[in-house]
Homo-oligomer: A and B are copies of this chain.
Amino acid sequence: MPITDAFLDTLRSIVGDKAVLTDGGDLDPHLREERGLYRGQATVAVKPATTEEVSAVVKACAAAGVSIVPQGGNTGLCGGAVSDAGQVILSLSRMNRIRAINPIDFTITVEAGVILEDVQTAALEADRFFPLALGAQGSCQIGGNLATNAGGLNVLRYGNTRDLCLGLEVVLADGTVWNGLKALGKDNTGFALKHLFIGGEGALGIITAAVMKLYPRPLEKQTALCAVDDVAQVPALLALARAMSGDQVSAFELVARFGLELACRHLDGVTDPFEDAHPWYVLAEFSSTRAGTDLRAVFEGFLETAFEQGIISDAVIAESGQQEASFWRMREGLPEAQKHEGASIKHDVAVPVARVPEFLDRAIAGVVAALPGLRPCPFGHVGDGNIHFNLTQPEGMDPKAYLGHWEEMNRIVHDIVVDMGGSISAEHGVGRLKVDEIIHYKSAAEIEVMRKVKVALDPQNLLNPGVVVRI
């Protein structure tokens, strides 16, 4: 359906003139796409300020047969917030109130448009900790984190966004508001509707508010960079860390030698702390929510045991905040460092933790055989089995020509992942980017169940059509 002036007037009557954007400059932030793979084509974005306004907008769109692209901070990496011409972008940015914080209950109730960093800050101000943390936290919104079930840096210890959510408020496809804002650790009164909307990428309902869990603040931390000569030992290193720490491992990140070299070459303040070169590194962190513990001794004991058992060949404990920051700068700056070496083909995959070494062996051999000179730069949250299997282009190759190999590399890497019982999108979601890829790999039965759920909840296909599943 085309967007008519009468329809725009209806939207204005619901949210006010200023909250209906039709001007190019105002619209632009809602049309850009993080990786530059797409550009939104919508000519209108609407910014409701309340749940009631979201409901009224959805009802108006349903009546007019206009489909809706819900949008949070628009920082997703799979094109889940990209619009077509004739669609309405529904931005949650103005729904940015923290409705309640309850330190005794360890809960916070937030509207969908609250910036992730503002949730973290509000928790700290109440002497609590909100563990969700990721690169885009200064601009992504908690509603988008929920809709994509965001992962990030603290999944090993605290779980994905899904695991941090107690209750939701959702506007359904017909505009009805479902109030599931329960702050309960236990509630077995029917199907787990909450979990359909979390990770549903806005295709089943529009999340307008959530009750999230808080935790005691981490008060002590020990960080080390470990040198690993045989990547096959990495799962054993993690198991040892879990056992010896009393499950207080808060980070366990893998980096290949090539990644460390790139980081040292291109990032300020990053140096190789070891005398010798090693093929793999693990950035390991233990943390405690108590102060004054024996965490340092426990951490040293873990590293000594790992060394004695031949699991690691060396380790450097961060002896200052500066050194710790340098280790993390190395890890977190890898995508930036890669840019200096030309184009990258990227994969966000997961396999069972114990099979990460086998995956790396097979996938590295596969891609290098297919394109000699290609430089694998795998890194990531190996504690979750999640590898960002990034591939830097061969030296001197034309970047565009290199990116032309993306589909071919996808097939090689994803075939191995699926063969190993893995996931081709560990934390970034499906969006528009991977709809065909999941159809290719999932069983017909699973795609059919997803289609049935979509049709049941959104029979007019009004909510983010074409994202996650096509009907």
Contact = CB atoms under 8 A, between A and B. Distances in A.
Contacts of A102: 352, 354
Contacts of A453: 191, 193, 196, 453, 456-457
A245 B449 contact: no
Contacts of A159: 163
A373 B381 CA distance: 59
Interface stretch (A28-36, A61-69, A111-119, A198-206): A198-206
Interface string A225-246: 0000000000110010011111
A468 B191 contact: yes
A296 interface: no
A103 B238 CA distance: 11
Interface in A426-471: 426-430, 434, 438, 442-443, 445-446, 449-450, 452-457, 468-469
Contacts of A369: none
A239 B151 contact: no
Given A178-B445, A192-B162, A247-B215, A427 B186 contact: yes
Contacts of A298: 290
Given A442-B190, A452-B457, A185 B350 contact: yes
A133 to B, nearest CB: 15
Interface of A: 102-107, 148-149, 151, 155-156, 159-160, 162-163, 172, 176-193, 195-196, 198-200, 204, 215-216, 235-236, 239, 242-248, 288-290, 293-294, 298, 350-354, 381, 383-386, 421-430, 434, 438, 442-443, 445-446, 449-450, 452-457, 468-469
Given A149-B188, A193-B446, A352-B102, A289 B243 contact: yes
20 contacts: A105-B235, A106-B239, A106-B242, A106-B353, A178-B443, A181-B421, A184-B421, A185-B353, A186-B381, A186-B386, A188-B427, A191-B204, A191-B453, A193-B453, A246-B288, A247-B289, A449-B457, A452-B456, A453-B456, A453-B457
Interface of A is mostly: loop
Of all A-B residue pairs in the complex, the 5 with the closest CB atoms, nearest first, are A195-B195, A246-B290, A456-B456, A187-B423, A186-B426
Contacts of A195: 192, 195-196
Contacts of A162: 192
A352 B105 contact: yes
Most chain-B CB neighbours within 10 Å: which of A178, A423, A446, A449?
A449
Contacts of A386: 185-186
A449 B163 contact: no
A82 B187 CA distance: 22
A196 B186 contact: no
Contact of A200 (B191, B289, B443): B191
B191 A353 contact: no
Contacts of A177: 445
A195 B160 CA distance: 14
B290 A423 contact: no
A236 B104 CA distance: 6
A184 B289 CA distance: 27
Contacts of A186: 151, 155, 160, 350, 381, 384-386, 423, 426-427
A468 B191 CA distance: 8
Given A184-B421, A185-B353, A192-B195, 20 more contacts: A103-B239, A104-B354, A105-B353, A105-B354, A172-B445, A178-B443, A178-B445, A184-B350, A185-B385, A188-B423, A188-B429, A191-B200, A191-B450, A191-B453, A193-B450, A246-B248, A246-B290, A293-B294, A294-B294, A453-B457
